[in-house]
Amino acid sequence: MATIKAAILGFGTVGQGIYHILNEKREELREKLGVELEVAKILVTDASRERVPGTKHLMTENIDEVLAEKGLQVVFEAIVNEEPAYTYLKRAVEHKCHVITANKVMFAKRGTELQDLAKKNGVFVGYEATVAGGVPVIKTMKNILLVNDVSRIQGILNGTTNYILTKMRGEGWSFDKALSEAQRLGYAEADPYNDVSGQDAFKKLMVLSSLAFGEQPDWSEVEVIGIDTISTEAVKEATAKGLRYRHVAQVDKLSDGRIVGKVEPILVDSEHPLYPIDDVFNAVTMETNYIGTLTLVGPGAGMYPTASVMVEDYAEIIGKRAGFVVSI
Ligand code: NAP
Ligand code: HSE
């Protein structure tokens, strides 16, 4: 049986999740895909610290060492920020590796470039994990777009902020306590400012805009307001009136072709579809011409939901290569 060698770039919450799922599902993946998968290298910034027992020999701090691995075919990327992530993935694609990323900061800005480069090199880019954690919004939208036009995307795209708002309302926690807990649970970004300021939801919205409309709004024209402006008192007042804060990202294609987006906290009442979406859950609503309105709901962050969609991307890519999966 053929062996596929993979590397994992970044071995924090998401990277470790990928490693665990690949191990736990090794036999099933082998049976379903007809190939054996071997994690051959793991890239971190500090290779002296063993995060998962039995992985020390796989760890390196040097991307050259990763790409020099003979027979490397798949690179999972779960590091942070645009660089060096983009450069590493560009090099991986030029080495004819399929790449699967969770990094929305990099992908919002460089996704189109990376996908064009991948096409030229005959490899695939999986990016389901860049938006809404374990919710399969990218593959669903790709399918919908085969037949439909999408005119609006609206949703809760950040698990950390939804978790914080839920705990402030339901448990009476302070903002700081709820944020620390979101960090402990592995929901928050390495720099949680990206979550609470709305920047993380904004990057995800831009990834969705590129996919749905083939373009993004001018970033400087998108108003991005975080939840860092919402006090415990404001949450209490809203709750007393039967309202809930939701941090909502929205992008529209207008009839004149302009693309407009915004990210902001809004108050919703019990009639609103986002009212029941609590905790780390995300919800993404797409307005389409034939299907009508479709909403996907699920866990928007965390080790296993995120890693699961990355391993699904891997399975889809390997299946597609073997000619039995069509949607990537
Ligand atoms: P994390 O726990 O902070 O882990 C980041 C990992 O990347 C660490 O192992 C770190 O190495 C490594 N790293 C960072 N910069 C690096 C560099 N320049 N070279 C080599 N390694 C580097 O972060 P995470 O939560 O797993 O998130 C990873 C990515 O997935 C981010 O882009 C994030 O936005 C995205 N994402 C996260 C979630 C989630 O629920 N956490 C969900 C969807 C997408 P050290 O261990 O040596 O510090
Ligand atoms: N920090 C992000 C969130 C991780 O809370 O939604 C998932 O992208």
pLDDT (average), residues 69-74: 96
Q: Is 71 helix (H, G, I), strand (E, B) or coil?
A: coil
Question: Are 118 and 86 within 8 A, CB to CB?
Answer: no
Nearest CA-CA partner of 104 in 80, 137, 72: 80
What is the structure's pLDDT at 319? 83
SS3 146: coil
- What predicted TM-score, i.e. pTM, was given to this entire model? 0.97
Please give the distance, rounded to the nearest whole angstrom, from the Cα atom of residue 160 to the centre of ligand 2.
6
CB 54 within 8 A of CB 18: no
Helices then strands, counting H and E runs in the chain, come out as 12, 12
Cα Dmax for the chain: 63
Going from the N-terminus, what domains does the chain have, and what CATH number goes with each?
Answer: 2-131+304-322 (3.40.50.720), 137-301 (3.30.360.10)
Confidence of residue 254 (pLDDT cuts 50, 70, 90): very high
pLDDT at 103 over 60: yes
State pLDDT tens for residues 156-174.
999 999 999 999 999 999 9
Asked whether residue 31 carries a pLDDT value surpassing 80, the answer given is yes
Token pair listed for 17: 């999740």
How much is the pLDDT for 328? 39
Task: State whether the beta carbon of 158 lies less than 6 angstroms from ligand 2.
Answer: yes
Please report which ligand is nearest the Cα atom of 280: 2
156 backbone dihedrals φ, ψ, rounded to 5°: -95, 115
What are 32-51's pLDDT values in tens digits?
A: 999 999 999 999 999 999 99
Q: Is 269 helix (H, G, I), strand (E, B) or coil?
A: coil
Report which ligand 1 atom has the smallest distance to the Cα of 15: 26
The 8-class DSSP code of residue 222 comes to: S
Give the Å distance between the CA of 68 and the centre of ligand 2.
32
To test the ligand 1 pocket, which listed residue (44, 60, 187) has its Cβ within 8 A of the most ligand atoms? 44
What proportion of the chain, given as a percentage, has pLDDT over 70? 98
* Closest C-alpha to 184, from 280, 54, 44: 280
Best mutation site among 8, 16, 45, 158 for ligand 1 pocket (most ligand atoms within 8 Å of CB): 45
Average pLDDT over residues 297-303: 97
| pLDDT band for position 323 (cuts 50, 70, 90) | low
Which tokens belong to 47?
């290779």
Distance CA 110, CA 101 (A): 12
The rounded distance, in Å, linking the Cα atoms of 28 and 31 is 5
Burial 128-149 (b: 16+ CB within 10 A, else e): bbbbbbbbbbbbbbeebbeebe
Closest CA to 155 of 226, 92, 204: 204
HSE of 254, CA atoms in CB hemisphere, 13 A = 6
